[in-house]
Amino acid sequence: MIVVTIDQRKSRSGPDKVEDLLQRLARAYEVARPFERTAGDEVQGVLQDGPAAVLLALEVARTGEWSVGIGVGAVEMPMPVQTRAGRGPAFEHARDAVERAKNSNGSLALSGPGAEAERLEAELQLIALVNARRTETSDEAGILVSQGLTQQQVAVRLGISQQAVSARLASGLWYEATRLTDLAGAALHEYARIAEGS
């Protein structure tokens, strides 16, 4: 299983953003157990799908408002209805990961059994850093491409040349980051499957 724990950054000096996050996650992602507030400004959810967990973690970390910890491993069965009542190694790894994420590159960390966790964490932190440093214009072009538009269609939509679209995608490492994100999602899915049985 994959447990994701998300903690609001600088929550003492700003408004509580947990409810907005919970609504966004409920609309956008399919989960094994829903995200819910576990304590203070922290939320937690359980996923079975590696690609979804990676996309979720990167999206939330990209805002700069949250620290995201991904825990991989077994959970005690049967899983309770409420996420916060869950127990097992995946929950313990998620706790370790979110604490490390507070001081990690990209505000994201991953914990689990074996060396695979360290490799996956390095990949995800690299993607998170690329995403965080991408300009708004590069991000805008990339999002349209990810929705299925061609570069020519994006150019028309944005009122710029196709060469400008290509330059924006290249400067933001859009295709490279997208490919690495897909590979990391597949790797996390397989890793979680193996770790759950160990």
CATH class of 135-172: mainly alpha
* pLDDT score at 173: 96
* CATH no. for 2-114+185-197: 3.30.70
Taking the domains of the chain in order of start, what are their residue ranges? 2-114+185-197, 135-172
Rounded to two decimals, what is the model's pTM? Answer: 0.91
- Residue-level pLDDT at 165: 96
pLDDT of res. 13: 67
Cβ-in-10-Å burial (0-12, 13-18, 19+) of 74 comes to middle
> Tokens 């995200």 sit at which residue?
35
Q: Which residues of the chain have pLDDT under 50?
A: none
What per-residue confidence (pLDDT) applies to 198?
Answer: 60
The pLDDT assigned to 10 comes to 77
pLDDT of residue 181: 97
